[in-house]
Amino acid sequence: MRIALLEDEHEQAQHIQAILSEKGHHCDSFPTGQAFLGAVLHRSYDLIILDWQIPDMTGIDVLENVRAQLDWPIPAIFLTQRDSEADIVRALDAGADDYLSKPARAAELTARINALARRSNPDSDKEVLIYGPFEVNTRQRIILLHGEPLTLTDKDFDLTLFLFQNQGRLLTREMLLERVWGLARDINTRTVDTHMSRLRRRLGVNPENGFRIKTIYQRGYRLEAIKATEADEPREDSATNA
């Protein structure tokens, strides 16, 4: 998982990053609320961990900003020295999914992260997934549209499954390179753009079939479900979705 950590104490941040790295997660640490929000609202993360007391604002303020501005309910854990019942209730009411007291205990932290990952993607273990007229068989690695098999490459399948499992969520080009291609984030991102353009045609992801792949300028892509009334409206300019 890609995790964003809000922690202003350098040693604490390094300790938490070491725990997560050992379990195979990638963790970016930010010492201020502004730096954290700038990253979380413009990049793609799977989960956030927040301290309460930071220099420029409270962790509660940061979480409320994330919930108000982010386009999907990213799992959020508070990890802080504050452990009163009132503090825990306040954080949960602000949108936190879990609450842990410092110091971070490796086994407990990773177990809580794994539990939140399962809750945020409950279909991950299913063999057959249904998304409107699309049927995705994860064991046979085939996709049906209105009952008919689509001709897709292995990379087409991986990309389509990742899009459906994250529909409604902004996926940056860098994240797609990491998750679908297994490549470093700093290579030429035209790889993603070229493949996404082909996938739109091969997959039949369009308003008539209930979905669209929307290009978010200079950021990435988002798979959106289309309501029946929207499908009858004129399509967006091709420059937006190409």
Does residue 202 sit in the same domain as residue 134?
yes
Where is the domain boundary, 96, 120, 144? 120
User: How many domains, in total, are found in the chain?
Assistant: 2
How does 62-73 read in b/e, with b if 16+ C-beta sit within 10 Å? bbebbeeebeee
In a shared domain, residues 171 and 62: no
Supply 189's token pair: 């991102």
Binning pLDDT at 50, 70 and 90, where does residue 42 land?
Answer: confident
Q: Residue 41 corresponds to which tokens in the numbers above?
A: 């609202």
Asked, for residue 239, whether it belongs to a domain, the answer is no
Candidates 104, 93, 100, 139; CA nearest to 116 is 100
Same domain, 108 and 174: no
Residue 237 lies in a domain: no
Is residue 48 domain-shared with residue 114, that is, in the same domain?
Answer: yes
- Tens digits of residue pLDDT in 214-237: 998 888 999 998 875 555 554 444
Q: How far apart are CA 34 and CA 189, in angstroms?
A: 27
Residues 79, 102: Cα–Cα separation, whole Å = 6
Task: Work out the pLDDT band at 122, boundaries 50, 70, 90.
Answer: low
Residue 213, H or E segment? strand 211-216
C-beta of residue 207 within 8 angstroms of C-beta of residue 235? yes
Q: How far apart are CA 218 and CA 112, in angstroms?
A: 34
Nearest to 60, CA basis, from 43, 80, 42: 80
Residues 110 and 145 in one domain: no
Residue 178: CB partners within 8 Å, gap ≥ 6?
2, 184, 185
Write out the two tokens for 178: 């990491």
Q: Do residues 101 and 87 make contact, with C-beta atoms less than 8 angstroms apart?
A: no
Q: Which of 99, 120, 141 is the last residue of a domain?
A: 120
Distance between CA atoms of residues 18 and 223, nearest Å: 33
Confidence band (pLDDT; 50, 70, 90) for 240?
Answer: very low
- Identify the three-state secondary structure at position 197: helix
Domain with residue 80: its CATH number is 3.40.50.2300
Domain check: are 116 and 6 in the same one?
yes
Q: Phi, psi at residue 141, to the nearest 5°?
A: 55, 50
Ranges 57-66, 74-83, 192-201: which has the least confidence? 192-201
Residue 114 forms part of a structural domain: yes
Same domain, 94 and 152: no
Query: Is 235 part of any domain?
Result: no
Give the CA dihedral 130, 131, 137, 138, nearest 10 degrees. Answer: -110
Residue 232 in any domain: the answer is no
Using one digit for the tens of pLDDT, what is the confidence trace for 11-37? 999 999 999 999 999 999 999 999 999
Is 231 inside a domain boundary? Answer: no
CB 176 within 8 A of CB 216: no
Nearest alpha carbon to residue 79 among 23, 22, 27: 27
Buried b (16+ CB within 10 A) or exposed e, 155-164: ebbbbbbebb
What tokens were used for 23? Answer: 């379990």
Residues 85-115 have pLDDT tens digits of: 999 999 999 999 999 999 889 999 999 999 9
The CATH number of the domain holding residue 206 is: 1.10.10.10
**Residues 163 and 185 grouped into a single domain:** yes
Tell me the residue range of the domain where 146 lies: 128-225
User: Which residue carries 């998304």 as its tokens?
Assistant: 131
Percent of the chain at pLDDT exceeding 70? 90
Which residue among 120, 153, 177 closes a domain?
A: 120
